[in-house]
Each structure stands twice: as structure tokens, then as C-alpha cells.
Structure 1
Amino acid sequence: MQSTTAGEPHNIFVASDHTIAKDKVIALAREMNFESFNAGSIRAARRLETDTKSLFPQWRLPVLVALVILCIWLTYILCMYFIKYGGTSWEQLFLNMVNKALGPSVITMLAIVYMPSNLACIFQLAYATRERRFPTWLDRWMLSRKQLGLLTFALALCHSMFTIILVSPAYFSSWFHRAEIRVSTIHNQTRFVFHDNLMKGTGELAALLGVLTLFCMSILAITSIPAIGNLLNWREWRFIQSKLGTVTLLLAIGHVVTVGIPFWMPQTL
């Protein structure tokens, strides 16, 4: 039996080669208000026992995937800004460069979260049945979507906090209008008048889409907690995790596109 925190159901995984006996045990566990699941043949019993004693077994692969994606994007950003463009100070490595890598990492992770459901539909169409099991790699991928989604939310939260710290014309020059300085001389005294750097329309739109994306991801993360998800019926939970998840992905893509517009079409902005 897998123990859980207070307020959440206890999960029981049943593994056996005897189908009738396994079904009876699952039914008995459900009558006792336990969440019971068919774990397959008796060969899965050793893995189940190992998982209950190991530390975060279901998080190892998702964490590894998140770290690999973040490292790939960070390497790309460093190559672009330090090798191709040049002129970037290493003092900006800890926040600015990492923040630039967090954005595309979140997009990639979101795509990884919602891609297996589409692949599952393709396999079902190819098999012409819903009863046939998916390939092992796809089955494991789908079982890791919750952990991948929570890690995506964590990366998005870090990206938001880093952006709040760094947001200024010095770091986000494409978001702000150029500062205007007027010099006037009165009675042989020079006066400097500075105009505030207001945000451009693209800057405000990018910030708005970023806030909406984080808000939607917060709802997805909260409803993925079993204690919260149990308060929703199946239709409500499916709507949030499926429809709202797709909206979140589109908002995130819109945020990235809006941020990139000044670099793609500098002559029009």
C-alpha cells in the first residue's frame, strides 16, 4: 500500500498472475474506500516494493528530462550571446542568461506534457482498438505527465520571478521606448529634463500574456493535487487539464512570439 498525505486517498497496487483473484482483491480494496489499481503481472511486485522504499521514484525521469532541456537551451543561449553576438558580460550569466533559457524550456516542457495524448490517439487509430496497450515508452511517458507538468510550473515560476527582478530598459530594451533627454540653458545654467521610459505595446502585451500563462499554469498545478482534484467531477477535471492546458500552451507561445517580434521585425517597431 502506498501511503499518502492527510486528506488524500490511499493507493493500493495489486499485481498477480491470477486474474480472478486480482479482481477480487481490487474490488475488496475499493469497498474499503481505497484507491486500488491493476499493476499487471506478478513480475511487477518487486518493482512496486522497490518504489515504496526508494526516494521519489516517479520523479527521477521527469527531473532528468527537465534538467536536460534546461541545459540544452542554456547552452544554446550562451553560444548565441557569447560566441555569435559577443559583447555580453559574464556577470549576466546568473540571472539574465538563465532567464533567457527558462522561457523556451517552459515551452518545450509544455509540449512534452501534452504530446503523449496526441500520440496515444494516433496509436489507437493505428491499432483500430482502445483495448490494446500502448508501447512501454509511451505508457511511461503518459504516467510522468503530472510530474512533468509540476516541473514546468516550477520553471515558469522561476522565469516570472527572474523577469520581475530584471525588468528594466537596460535588460528589456525592446519592451520600452527610448529615453528622451532635453537640455535647456536658462541664465547660464544647464538643465536636464528626463522623460520616463514607458513600455511599448509589445512589451505590455508580452507581460500580459506571461501573467495569464502563469495564472493558468497555477490552476493546472493546483488541480493536479489529489486532495483538490477529488473535489472536481470527471468533466470538470478533464476540462481543466485538457482544454485549459491547451489554452495555457497557446498563451505561452503567444508570449514568446510577442517577445520575439521586435527582433524579427525591427524596422516596423
Structure 2
Amino acid sequence: MDDSDSNSAPNTPNSSQHVVVIGTGFFGNSITSYIRRVAPEYTVTQTSRSLTPPPEQCVQGADIVFLAVPSHCYPSVSESINSALQPHTILIDVANRPLRLIPFRFRDQDSSAITLHKLVPQNVHVVKAFNTVSANYLTELNEQDELPGNENLPFAANDQHAIQTMKAFCKDLQFNPLYRGTLEQTAPNMEHAPHRFFPLYKTSFIMAGIIWTWWILYSTLSTYVIHGRRGTPSRPWDKYPLSMFMATTGETSMTLFATVFLAGPVATALKRFGRRFPNYLINWLNRRKQIGLVAFLFASAHGIAGAISSSHIDDGWKGQFYFVLGILSYLMFAVLAVYSSGQSGSKLTWAEFRGVFSWVGTLALMLGVVHQGFWGAILLKHRPNPSYWVANGAIMPISWLGIIFPIFVLVVRGITWLPCFREKNSYKSMPVDTREVEAISV
């Protein structure tokens, strides 16, 4: 090939594109089947050292090459195919770091993409991509009757031609391409991303842990320490584990749910007065789904503990209402959890979205407050009025203290429903999904 050919720009993916997948493992088989099913206009060849023809023959004239082999095999594979690769070939590195290598052990090591970039000719473009897509996921897509939606697919590349080619290739495969930067900048983080443990839920679990710890300490202090000094604890110690678990998981779930529904009114108030959203509010709004699902986890734990320890069922009509309202509130929050996970929420119309995440959510929070209020009323049979404890230097019981914040949130939401707050305002300063913000705050 002459110099003019070697310096020419590669074509964008079309019917003449030839894709080669080197590797016959789980991922190699899955990506091969997926490309053949979703983009039949591509010519796809799968090869390995044990197949005929070998990789060095298959990559001749290939436009895109997948290296679906372990990264420790890159030196031997590159040595065999380097002379056969044509200029401007896209070489896709799909490898991730081994799970046993925790971050501080490979902080100073090159990523597999950078290592591969050093092993191949300079006119071959290495791209880091598809490492965040699992073989199991591709297999599930291959078994579905309908074509998949546009899932985000991050990639990294150094060459502009490679970037444009990958964007077109990803769109042909029904993915939404997200260019993250050069290999040196983003490849190490991309290789570590699949090993992160629920990164979107990290803040939510930390918040839940702090709130749960607070309620455990507060309930232990009010139930066993203060009342224990005045005579006997309000509950016997042999019932501490289950009763404490039931009480504190319920309070934690109510506090988290109230936190979710407070973000909308705050955003509505700032929008009403023409203020831009601060960064903490943007993060708060973007984490509502995760916080809500963690709250639903605590509500489920509370319900299981309540079903095991059903002593309140014997407290007459108050105990009956306590359980009925708790069940109704839990079922409504279950609806929110279902439509907050997966793609269920995206299939709702605007009216359905607003009804589920605004009206059903608010009603569920209200029923939860009344449910907790009946619990406090049941406890009044065995304890003095809460004002007695406050007046005598003690602290308010958990059943009444935990109800204050949710009631405050309901009042604030009611204020934002007033006509002065429901006026249509400009969304030019709203850096988040308009539909989600309005659905929570209306």
C-alpha cells in the first residue's frame, strides 16, 4: 500500500465493513452472535489460534477487530497479527483488570488498552470499548424477540477517525456511544468501572447507615437507659433485638422516603424564585431513585419484623389500623419501587408518571405517617404522655420524634401545590430532567 493510501481516512461503517472477533470464549461468542443479529450488513468472522484460518489471515482487510482474549495474551496475539493489519484498522480492547487486583496494586500500571497501543503499529487505532458490557447481557439480548434499546456505551480513543468510526459502529449495534476521552485519560478508570460495587448506591447506603445508627442509639437511649434509670426499661431486654430492629428499620425507611420527597419542593421553590440549582441539589435529585429503593429495602425489613412480632394485633382497633395502614403504605411504595427499577418508568405516559411518582408517593408517605401515629397511640397505653418526658428532662420517644420530619415534608409539599407555586416558569436554569423534577414537585 502506498503512502497516500496509508494516510487516507477510514470509511464510516457500512455494508462493506469487515469485523473480526479474535477469541472463542463466552464474550467472543456473544458479541459475534449479537453483531450478526443486530447488524447483518456487517461481515463478521470469528477466529482463534485453534481455528482455521488463523487470526493473522482473518484480519487481512479487516476494518474492525475485537480482541476478546485475556490481556496477558496481547503480546503473542499482536505479534502474530501486526504484519497483517491494514492502516486505520480499529482494534477494540474489551479486557478488564482482574478482580483480584485492587486499585492501589495497579495504580502505577498501564491499562490493557495502553499496553496494546504500545504493541501494535502506530497507524492502527486502539479503542477501549465494550468492556462494560457483559457476555450475559449480550446473550440475553440475543434471545429477545425485539431489538434492544439504546444503552449507553462508553469508549476511549486517541484518533479522531477512530472516534467517528466507533460512534457510527455503536449506533449500528443499537448502542448510544459516549466518548470519554483519550486512552491515557480514561482507559484505567473504564477498566476498573465493572468492578465497582453499586457505585450509584454508595451515597444512599452511607446515608441509610448513618440514619439507622442514629435511630438505634436514640431508641436504646430513650427505651433502656433513661427509663431504666427511673425504674425498669419500657421494654424487657430479652425482646431488644427484634423490637429494636422493627422500630429502627421503620423509622429509617420513613426518614429516607421523606428525604426523597423533599428534593422536589426544594427544586420547585428555587425555580419559582429564579435561582439556579446548587450542586448538592443536583446530586440529591439524581439520587432520589437510589435513596427510594434503599428506603424500600428498610421498609421490607420492617414489614418482615412486624409480621414476626405481631403483638400489636392484640391492641384492639388501634392495633388493627396500625397493621392495615402499614400494609397499604408498603404496597404503594412497592409500586414506586417497581417503576423506579429497570425500564418500567420510561414506558409510562406523562399522566401515569405524575400519578405514580407524585400522587401515589405522597399518599404512601401520608399513610406511613398515620401508621406510625397509631403505633405511638398504642404505646400511650403503657407510657405517660410524651410531654411528660420532655417536661421532666427525658427525651421524646422514637414513635413521636420520627413522625416530625415526614409531617414537615408533607406540609412543604402541600405549600408547593398552592397556585403561586404552580405557575409555569422557565426551565432554562434547570440542569436536570424536567419531567422528573416536576413529577415530584407538583
Q: TM-score, normalised by structure 1?
A: 0.71
Q: How does 1:1-269 map to 2 (within 5 A)?
A: 3=133, 6=140, 9=149, 10-12=151-153, 33-34=174-175, 49=190, 51-86=193-228, 87=233, 88-127=235-274, 132=276, 134-168=277-311, 172=312, 176=314, 199-264=315-380
CA RMSD of aligned residues (A): 3.6
Counterpart Cα distance in 2 of 1:100 and 1:161: 12
Indicate the residue corresponding to 2:440 in structure 1: none
Alignment partners' CA distance in 1, 2:335 and 2:360:
9
Q: Shift of the alpha carbon at 1:123?
A: 1.7
Which of the pair is proportionally richer in helix? 1
Counterpart of 1:226 in 2: which secondary structure?
coil
Q: In structure 2, what is the Cα distance between the partners aligned to 1:120 and 1:27?
A: 38
C-alpha distance in 1, partners of 2:189/2:349? 29
The alpha-carbon deviation at position 119 of structure 1 amounts to: 1.0
Asked if the contact 2:319/2:378 (under 8 Å) is kept, the reply is no
CA distance in 2, matches of 1:27, 1:258: 60
d(CA) in 2 for partners of 1:238 and 1:35? 27
Percent identical residues: 24
Provide the aligned length of Structure 1 versus Structure 2: 229
Q: Is the 8 A contact 1:110 1:249 kept in 2?
A: yes
Equivalent residue number for residue 179 of structure 1: none
Contact 1:209 1:251 in 2 (8 A): yes
The superposition leaves residues 39-78 of structure 1 with CA deviations (integer Å, 9 ceiling, x where unpaired) of 9xxxx96897364552211111100001111110111110
Distance of 2:175 and 2:354 partners within structure 1: 22
Stretch moving more, 207-216 or 51-60: 51-60
**CA deviation digits over 1:126-180, x for unaligned, max 9?**
326xxx5x21111111111111111111111111110111112xxx3xx53xxxx
CA distance in 2, matches of 1:107, 1:28: 47
Q: 1:222 to 1:26 in 2, by over 3 A?
A: farther
Q: CA separation in 2, counterparts of 1:111 and 1:254?
A: 14
- Tell whether the 8 Å contact from 2:336 to 2:361 is kept in structure 1 after alignment: yes
Instruction: Quote how far apart the aligned CAs of 1:28 are.
Output: 9.7
**Which ranges of structure 2 fall in alignment gaps of 5 or more residues?**
1-129, 142-147, 157-162, 385-442
Which of the pair has the greater relative contact order for Cα pairs under 8 Å at 6+ separation? 1
In structure 1, distance between residues paired with 2:321 and 2:246: 19
User: Kindly tell me: are residues 12 and 259 of structure 1, through their superposed partners in 2, closer, same or farther at Cα, counting changes over 3 Å?
Assistant: same
2-side partners of 1:38 and 1:122: how far apart?
Answer: 35
Q: Unpaired segments of 5 or more residues in structure 1?
A: 16-21, 177-198
Rounded to whole Å, the distance in 2 between the matches of 1:94 and 1:264 is 22
Q: Distance in 2 between matches of 1:213 and 1:66?
A: 20
98-107 or 249-258: which moved more?
98-107
